[in-house]
Chain A
Amino acid sequence: MNISGSSTRFSVFLFFLPQIRFILIQNRAGKTRLAKWYMQFDDDEKQKLIEEVHAVVTVRDAKHTNFVEFRNFKIIYRRYAGLYFCICVDVTDNNLAYLEGIHNFVEVLNEYFHNVCELDLVFNFYKVYTVVDEMFLAGEIRETSQTKVLKQLLMLQSLE
């Protein structure tokens, strides 16, 4: 399971049990709006992954599946307006569960930012991380109830 390609033979992955490897939000131009990593990559590797995901995902059209093989993993993605939401998981993971995991996350963002748009993610990047951590943690789905997540976010919002 060498996600980092042949150049780094000495890389090792602690996590061989299925889990989310990373979550990426990118726009069509390939600008990253969120990158959340659930395993260790060095900075160069992260940049390479970001570029590869962009190349793989943007060439696909609406008739294609929302899944694409990626190195030894797969990317589950969905496009919302100009943004691609991508989750990298293991090939044995449940595609549809993660596809709807993305949608659930987007609905929370939409509610939280009141009709979310790309700029909200840019200016409030530090809050997006909080939303992610409420819903996904350690590469696993932590909470799926939109009501509960939003209630918690609202509570945090009220804190100083």
Chain B
Amino acid sequence: MPAVSKGDGMRGLAVFISDIRNCKSKEAEIKRINKELANIRSKFKGDKALDGYSKKKYVCKLLFIFLLGHDIDFGHMEAVNLLSSNKYTEKQIGYLFISVLVNSNSELIRLINNAIKNDLSSRNPTFMCLALHCIANVGSREMAEAFASEIPRILVAGDTMDSVKQSAALCLLRLYKTSPDLVLMGEWTSRVVHLLNDQHMGVVTAAISLITCLSQKNPDEFKTCVSLAVSRLSRIVSSASTDLQDYTYYFVPAPWLSCKLLRLLQCYPPPEDGAVKGRLVECLETILNKAQEPPKSKKVQHSNAKNAILFEAISLIIHYDSEPNLLVRACNQLGQFLQHRETNLRYLALESMCTLASSEFSHEAVKTHIETVINALKTERDVSVRQRAADLLYAMCDRSNAKQIVAEMLSYLETADYSIREEMVLKVAILAEKYAVDYSWYVDTILNLIRIAGDYVSEEVWYRVIQIVINRDDVQGYAAKTVFEALQAPACHENMVKVGGYILGEFGNLIAGDPRSSPLVQFNLLHSKFHLCSVPTRALLLSAYIKFINLFPETKATIQEVLRCDSQIRNSDVELQQRAVEYLKLSSIASTDVLATVLEEMPPFPERESSILAKLKKKKGPGAVSVTELEDSKREGGELNGGSDRGPDTAAMAASNAVTELLGSVTKIVHFLVFQSTPSPSADLLGIRSAPPVGAASTSAGSLLVDVFSEAGPTIPPAAVNDDGFLRFVCKNNGVLFENQLLQIGIKSEYRQNLGRMYLFYGNKTSVQFANFTTTTKPVEPLVEGGAQIQQVLNIECLTDFSDAPLLNIKFRYGGALQNLTLKLPVTINKFFQPTEMSSHDFFQRWKQLSQPQQEAQKIFKANHGMDTEVLKAKLLGLGTALLDNVDPNPENYVCAGVIQTKSQQVGCLLRLEPNAQAQVAHTAHSKVTAKCLEKISHSGSEYNRSLNAEDE
């Protein structure tokens, strides 16, 4: 085997590297580098033409200097020259320099395309590979433009060498990911799939990555790969450990290729062809069997390689989720790993079991390992392993074991690593709510949480406990008693004071009969915490005090005195001062009746998804809540909250909103009174609340439909895919999506970050019942009575950028005839915009940075109607971006900025609309984004343009 000597071939380089290593200080190093840079510069500028060797050596030195972290501002031309050398070592250094430095100098790319072209057509496999590697490493759009059509040819040509095929496959993959629009499918596509049969395992290894990526984007075109992959896998799995020679790694045949094959299969559902499926199941069984065989080597490499395949096979089994036998076997295998001495295996087993827990077939099998998992939570040294154990406990939790799991998690919390406390708190809070059978247990758990880990209890958690207590009258007395006891502790967390203040303010009367918790005792207890609390908590306490005046007239004098003292009424904090002044006045001038009306018990909160769940989801990371789980909790949560109707509230409740609801509602009502002087009926007062209570939801939704109805366009007969209504939703969220003689479909939707919720209202306009009413999204009631309306809620998550709106198919029977309707759901990428404010300077700096052609889209379109400033502004705001004032030097132009939120990424987007007033007919819309999503945006943009016009009509 070759032993490479130091810096072999380039003595000058080795000497330079040694010098640098010998430098005693940073200054000395910089001095040495500057000397070398001067030397190289003079050589490059010198009269004497440098030979290839010297050029290579100097370019290599420059590269070394760059890698040390210094800027290089010359030498690029010399590197480009090296590309045309016919010596491998010179070419290699040239390509390397370009691949490494290309970020800092994109001008370079244009210069090298010619050299790459020459090397690609050189028929010299070494040179071809160098060129392909350079394209794969740089992967710029210019390169895709130049070579995207050439590389597939190289890949499938009969006479291409194997190593070149390997590089070509991955090079194409890179270009496809960079610029999918430039890599056109063609007759090469089917031949690429057949590379799965290639004799050379290296070619298969490389090609399969390309095929997997292509399959993910075009599953139908590539579905023949399934049977090919299965037979390839089967041949590998059944081969003896020595059959594959070069590709056997520590007695394991082709571990990486096996993993890649199993991963490719995860792009597809289980094979439909019985024979293929049978063969695949056999493979999976063999893999599971092998895990039980005695190891062929004691080396960790052997077991790692074997288990890499095993874990990938288990992923596939979970992906199919249709073979109970395999799922249970997988679970048993992982169960063995839970006690393995290798930390890696214990970690991976916990992680993998987490997904098994969500399968109905293996959920019970997973639960049998509860003791081991609890033990892991207590004893593992690596915090990331403990974290997985906590995730798994969370995933395996159901009604049968909730109390045990919650108790274990609570006791773990006392010593838990700081980094995972917050997440643990959220999980405990969710489990306690989801599986609460009796609410006293729920209240105890949450108060314990606050006691143990108060600092990590986020607002969502304590808001939630209050929402639930307010909505469940059977637990209010218990909650008041428990929180009263908790507040007795000499030091209690501020969050406890908040909960205490709120609950006693509402329900203190329920425990006031006991002399130990008489009104004054309650008040003194709360007030003893007052001076230790922050402003928001004090504000809350002041509201609790005014509620006390209403609940317990005997406390009035004491509380008025407190409110009257200078530290309240002259508090430097405006909010506190205002509350003190207003509450004092209110308590002195309002009659008992008025007081009772204003300070009435809080109405039930609208039912909504737990905001805690939303928060946990936001934390993402492994073990975060999946969308299905969200649905689960909705089902189960419905029981807890006493109804399945859900109010029109966003999934992730805005914290500010919640604060308003919890803290502000009282003051708001008070303001109303003070300034209007005549008390209004309580119904109106409640109407001030930002969200209507449950009872009002359906009526308000109904009236919305009526409102929108009046401005709806002409009725549209059912068509193949109906998207007329769709356009008007680009800039707005509510309205009528569809209407004909029979059916009206109204929509209300709201979006926040990458999440959205859509309420669909299906109204039967006839007097006859619709039977068998089904939609493709979710089950609804199958019968819709004449004149009735049913409601459906969809939770939407934007995973990645998209251009096609999801389709909604609706079927029902009307008087014997089957009605079939397909509509585009008005979910466009701009719904996930988050407006972004920025200064003129920032805007144009970013605008200029986005200079690549693929980052920019421009459309010129006619305005069907006049360009009214206010209308345009409203539309632009409707698009979801922030409309920026005083940014564009030309006041005629409109400038917007926003960030599209998807689960996988955030995409910044800048937009300029340049109306051409003279022509009165042309707008120039111009938008820039920071990359990939562009075509989607411009797509959405063109829809937006259409909608501007459509809506103008």
- Which chain B positions have C-beta within 8 A of A150? 1
- Which chain B positions have C-beta within 8 A of A137? 133, 136, 166-167, 170-171, 206
Name the residue on B nearest A140 (C-beta): B209
Asked whether B195 is an interface residue with its Cβ less than 8 Å from the other chain, the reply is no
> Which residue of A65, A97, A160 is within 8 Å of B89 (Cβ)?
A160
Please state if B344 and A65 are interface contacts (CB–CB under 8 Å).
yes
Chain A 106-131 interface 0/1 with B at a Cβ cutoff of 8 Å (1 = within): 00000111100001101111110110
Please state if A130 and B92 are interface contacts (CB–CB under 8 Å).
yes
Please state if A42 and B906 are interface contacts (CB–CB under 8 Å).
no
Please state if B621 and A69 are interface contacts (CB–CB under 8 Å).
yes
- Which chain A positions have C-beta within 8 A of B213? 17
- Which chain A positions have C-beta within 8 A of B307? 96
Asked whether A49 is an interface residue with its Cβ less than 8 Å from the other chain, the reply is no
Asked whether B930 is an interface residue with its Cβ less than 8 Å from the other chain, the reply is yes
Asked whether A58 is an interface residue with its Cβ less than 8 Å from the other chain, the reply is no
- Which chain B positions have C-beta within 8 A of A91? 621-622
Stretch at the interface among A7-15, A21-29, A81-89: A7-15
Please state if B904 and A14 are interface contacts (CB–CB under 8 Å).
no
Stretch at the interface among B378-386, B434-442, B887-895: B378-386
Chain B 235-262 interface 0/1 with A at a Cβ cutoff of 8 Å (1 = within): 0000000000111010000111101100
Please state if B344 and A96 are interface contacts (CB–CB under 8 Å).
yes
Main secondary structure, interface of A, reads: mixed
Count of A-B residue pairs with CB < 8 Å:
215
- Which chain B positions have C-beta within 8 A of A60? 382
Please state if A67 and B384 are interface contacts (CB–CB under 8 Å).
yes
Please state if A13 and B905 are interface contacts (CB–CB under 8 Å).
yes
- Which chain B positions have C-beta within 8 A of A146? 246
Asked whether B865 is an interface residue with its Cβ less than 8 Å from the other chain, the reply is no
Please state if A63 and B69 are interface contacts (CB–CB under 8 Å).
no
- Which chain A positions have C-beta within 8 A of B60? 126
Please state if B256 and A68 are interface contacts (CB–CB under 8 Å).
no
Assess A94 versus B311: contact at CB under 8 Å? Given A111-B1, A124-B4, A144-B247.
yes
Expressed in whole angstroms, the Cα–Cα distance for A1 and B620 within the complex equals: 10
Please state if B249 and A100 are interface contacts (CB–CB under 8 Å).
yes
A146 to chain B, nearest CB (A): 8
- Which chain B positions have C-beta within 8 A of A114? 1-4
Please state if B312 and A145 are interface contacts (CB–CB under 8 Å).
no
Expressed in whole angstroms, the Cα–Cα distance for A145 and B933 within the complex equals: 38
Name the residue on A nearest B799 (C-beta): A16
Please state if B348 and A69 are interface contacts (CB–CB under 8 Å).
no
Interface size bracket, A side: 35 or more
Please state if A125 and B67 are interface contacts (CB–CB under 8 Å).
yes
Asked whether A143 is an interface residue with its Cβ less than 8 Å from the other chain, the reply is yes
Assess A142 versus B622: contact at CB under 8 Å? Given A11-B930, A13-B905, A100-B249.
no
- Which chain A positions have C-beta within 8 A of B205? 141-144
Assess A153 versus B171: contact at CB under 8 Å? Given A94-B311, A100-B249.
no
Asked whether B907 is an interface residue with its Cβ less than 8 Å from the other chain, the reply is yes
Please state if B906 and A122 are interface contacts (CB–CB under 8 Å).
no
Assess A113 versus B4: contact at CB under 8 Å? Given A94-B311, A126-B63.
yes
> Which residue of A19, A130, A143 is within 8 Å of B202 (Cβ)?
A143
- Which chain A positions have C-beta within 8 A of B104? 43
Chain B 870-887 interface 0/1 with A at a Cβ cutoff of 8 Å (1 = within): 000000000000000000
Assess A14 versus B178: contact at CB under 8 Å? Given A9-B908, A65-B347, A140-B170.
yes
- Which chain B positions have C-beta within 8 A of A113? 3-4
Q: Which of B115-170 contact A (CB under 8 A)?
A: 126, 133, 136-137, 139, 163, 166-167, 170
Interface size bracket, B side: 35 or more
- Which chain B positions have C-beta within 8 A of A125? 64, 67
- Which chain A positions have C-beta within 8 A of B794? none
- Which chain A positions have C-beta within 8 A of B263? 94
- Which chain A positions have C-beta within 8 A of B247? 144-145
Between B4, B216, B347, the greatest number of chain A beta carbons within 10 A of the residue's beta carbon is seen for B4
Expressed in whole angstroms, the Cα–Cα distance for A160 and B93 within the complex equals: 12
Chain B 726-763 interface 0/1 with A at a Cβ cutoff of 8 Å (1 = within): 00000000000000000000000000000000000000
> Which residue of B7, B201, B304, B929 is within 8 Å of A123 (Cβ)?
B7
- Which chain A positions have C-beta within 8 A of B869? none
- Which chain B positions have C-beta within 8 A of A144? 202, 205, 247, 249, 254-257
- Which chain B positions have C-beta within 8 A of A67? 344, 347, 384
> Which residue of A42, A103, A122, A154 is within 8 Å of B21 (Cβ)?
A122
- Which chain A positions have C-beta within 8 A of B260? 141
Please state if A12 and B17 are interface contacts (CB–CB under 8 Å).
no
Asked whether A101 is an interface residue with its Cβ less than 8 Å from the other chain, the reply is yes
- Which chain A positions have C-beta within 8 A of B139? 138
Expressed in whole angstroms, the Cα–Cα distance for A13 and B908 within the complex equals: 11
B899 to chain A, nearest CB (A): 6
Name the residue on A nearest B245 (C-beta): A147
> Which residue of A10, A43, A63 is within 8 Å of B103 (Cβ)?
A43
- Which chain A positions have C-beta within 8 A of B777? none
Name the residue on B nearest A35 (C-beta): B67
Please state if A95 and B344 are interface contacts (CB–CB under 8 Å).
yes
- Which chain A positions have C-beta within 8 A of B64? 125
Name the residue on B nearest A155 (C-beta): B126
Name the residue on A nearest B934 (C-beta): A12
Expressed in whole angstroms, the Cα–Cα distance for A19 and B139 within the complex equals: 15
Expressed in whole angstroms, the Cα–Cα distance for A65 and B312 within the complex equals: 19
A113 to chain B, nearest CB (A): 5
Please state if A100 and B7 are interface contacts (CB–CB under 8 Å).
no
Interchain residue pairs with CB less than 8 A apart (13): A9-B906, A11-B930, A16-B800, A16-B904, A65-B347, A67-B384, A94-B312, A96-B344, A113-B3, A124-B7, A133-B137, A154-B2, A160-B89
List residues of chain B with CB under 8 Å of any chain A CB: 1-4, 6-8, 14, 17, 21, 60, 63-64, 67, 69, 87-89, 92-93, 96, 99-100, 103-104, 126, 133, 136-137, 139, 163, 166-167, 170-171, 173-174, 177-178, 201-202, 205-206, 209, 213, 216, 245-247, 249, 254-257, 259-260, 263, 301, 304-305, 307-308, 311-312, 343-344, 347-348, 381-382, 384-385, 620-622, 800, 836, 846, 899, 903-908, 929-933
Closest 6 CB pairs of A and B: A114-B3, A10-B908, A96-B308, A145-B246, A159-B88, A138-B174
A99-B308, A101-B256, A140-B170 known, 15 other contacts, Cβ within 8 Å: A9-B899, A10-B899, A12-B932, A13-B905, A35-B67, A63-B343, A94-B311, A96-B344, A99-B344, A111-B1, A119-B6, A144-B256, A145-B246, A159-B88, A160-B89
